[in-house]
Amino acid sequence: MSNHEEIRRRYKKLALADAIRKAADGLGIPAEVASVYFHRFDCEIEKDGLVRVRPNPTEFLLSELKSDPLLQESVLRARQARQEESSNG
């Protein structure tokens, strides 16, 4: 693997992780929980450097959140933990 290919591979991995984290944050899903879905996405870098992630991370995670009771429970626990931290801090 050339140095250029290795850089692109790392960039794709970081860009995908960032997109998933941002989508998860917006939906109140803990990032470590959302990372479980990493393999469900495809990330491409266009020639102009534009990153495309498919499926759309926000839409995908929202759909999972609506249909997955374990994910719903994780979000509820994370919300409760944040509320406890804010009331104790």
pLDDT tens for each residue of the chain, 89 residues long: 789 889 889 999 999 999 999 999 999 999 899 999 999 999 998 888 889 999 999 999 999 999 999 999 989 998 898 888 888 86
Specify the pLDDT at position 89: 65
Whether 9 and 16 have beta carbons less than 8 Å apart is answered as no
Half-sphere exposure in the Cβ direction for 29 (13 Å, CA): 28
Specify the pLDDT at position 5: 87
Specify the pLDDT at position 20: 96
Whether 34 and 24 have beta carbons less than 8 Å apart is answered as yes
| Beta-bridge partner residues of 44 | 52
How far is C-alpha 78 from the geometric centre of its chain's CA atoms? 16
Instruction: Report how many domains make up the chain.
Output: 1
**By residue range, what is the domain housing residue 78?**
3-88
Q: Is the pTM of this model over 0.85?
A: no
